[in-house]
Amino acid sequence: MDGNGHRRCRFPRGHRRNFYGSLLAGGVGRRGHHRAVCRCHTGDEGDGPGPAVIGRRQLLAAGSLAFLAACSRREDVVVRASDDGFHGTYLADGWQLPDVELTDQFGRAHNLRTGWDTKVVALFFGYLNCPDVCPGIMADMAVARRRLSPEQMREITPVLITTDPARDTPDALKVYLERVDEAFVGLTGDLEVIKRVGAELKVSIEQGKQLPSGGYEVDHSTQILGIGPDRAVHVVWSTPGLQIGALREDYARLIG
């Protein structure tokens, strides 16, 4: 925990808790009273990877994610769903996705509200240079999706919106995400636009202080957002502490 009350990125294995709750508007949150914030620096790479290059460490991390997503066989602890049937926090009215244009990992314009051809979207805000929390969450998203039936898998799109667009170029996103799950869509754009999108979806994004190494800290909240066919957020999953089995069950319920 730093001086501002932010929890840093590294969580000891076996010590994950559910921190989401008070961020929800109107007191909707019911599980805990704090939000987890990923607060970590970009490492000692100076200015980081260039437009078409991703660092060796990030490639290795992404490769490890792909292995975990493809090969994980562990059984999750059984988690009881709430009265609404979801393990995450359910929002009946939902938060509508902003009607904004971002850029995907192939360099194409992508409308955040209308650019989907699946029933459900699972959205996470994070960045490629994050040392462990962001990669772990994306791996869990990929594993949960792969535990669905083939028909259900085709009805959900996992999405990363970068909180570090200066470094997470379309090429870098493409190289990284194809090693996690080929279904992942990576979106980047102007940082101020991304911050506004995050604010509308109750996701905090801040660039922290510059580091002597040349890198900088990136602060962002770490919840996963479940978006339904109406393109509104209807489920919010707190991380860390979310079990893959619970996420898979909620994916299936949201797909219908």
Phi-psi region of 48 (alpha: psi -120 to 50; beta: other; left: phi over 0): left
pLDDT at position 11: 36
- Is 14 domain-assigned? no
CB 244 within 8 A of CB 144: yes
pLDDT at position 168: 96
In the chain, the number of structural domains is: 1
- Is 120 domain-assigned? yes
131 CB contacts (<8 Å, ≥6 apart)?
A: 9, 10, 40, 43, 61
Residues 150, 252: Cα–Cα separation, whole Å? 11
pLDDT at position 66: 46
Mean pLDDT by 10 residues, the chain (256 residues): 40 34 35 45 41 37 44 37 80 95 98 98 95 92 98 99 96 98 98 96 82 74 96 94 96 97
Q: For the domain that residue 93 is a member of, what is the CATH number?
A: 3.40.30.10
pTM comes to: 0.72
pLDDT at position 211: 65
pLDDT at position 219: 84
Terminal CA-CA length for the chain: 39
Q: CA distances (Å), 6 to each of 9, 19, 159, 200, 218, in order?
A: 9, 11, 25, 21, 12
pLDDT at position 209: 63
pLDDT at position 239: 87
Domain limits at 233?
25-255
- Is 95 domain-assigned? yes
